[in-house]
Amino acid sequence: MPPIKQIDKQQIIEKAYEIVRSEGYPSLTARRLAKELNCSTQPIYQSFADMKELKDELIKRAQINMLRYITNTSDKDLPKELSCILAYIQFAREEKNLFQLIFTSGGLDFNAINDLGTMNMNMDINMIVYANGIVMMQAFQSIELSDDKIKAMLINAYNLFASNK
């Protein structure tokens, strides 16, 4: 009789997600994950063909969590697109490691994010580029902006981009 599988795929994803969220994707290795799960690497490689497959699962989960964050923290007093961009910037600041996983993996697909949320909107590429500029400047500590300043800058940019359509 084969041994009973003690570590399942979902447990592996959960633990890997915790590691990535707190320490970043470079900290995640099969050995580190196995140690955290108190098992060998065998259950990991039985559940996933390789670490890239696990990374793809983590990216999907991070995107879904980013979408939830955006929809749950959006400012209802602002236009939907502007509110989502503001929440996107907040997510990037509060969940740096998850945002980095999504952004640096090529997993940042606004069409997919729009589709996941069924928000029925098209994110303006100008606002996306502008928001990512703010995110990157904050990530590299080139600029420090308050939430109110970011909001004012985004409203101004939104109005300028809207008037140029």
Chain segment 23-57, per-residue pLDDT in tens: 999 999 999 999 999 999 999 999 999 999 999 99
In angstroms, what CA-CA distances link 110 with 7, 25, 84, 115, 133?
34, 21, 11, 8, 16
Q: What mean pLDDT do residues 69-83 have?
A: 85
The more confidently predicted of residues 164 and 152 is: 152
pTM listed for this prediction: 0.82
- Which residues lie below 8 Å from residue 85, measured CB to CB, with a gap of 6+? 123, 127, 128, 131, 154, 158
Are 53 and 31 a contacting pair, CB within 8 Å? no
SS3 of residue 137 by DSSP: helix
Chain segment 122-154, per-residue pLDDT in tens: 667 888 889 989 998 988 888 888 989 999 999
- Residue type for position 34: A
What span, in angstroms and rounded, lies between the C-alpha atoms of 145 and 73? 19
> Which of 8, 150, 159, 157 has its CA nearest to residue 90?
150
Token code pair at residue 72: 């749950």
Percent of the chain predicted with pLDDT > 90: 53
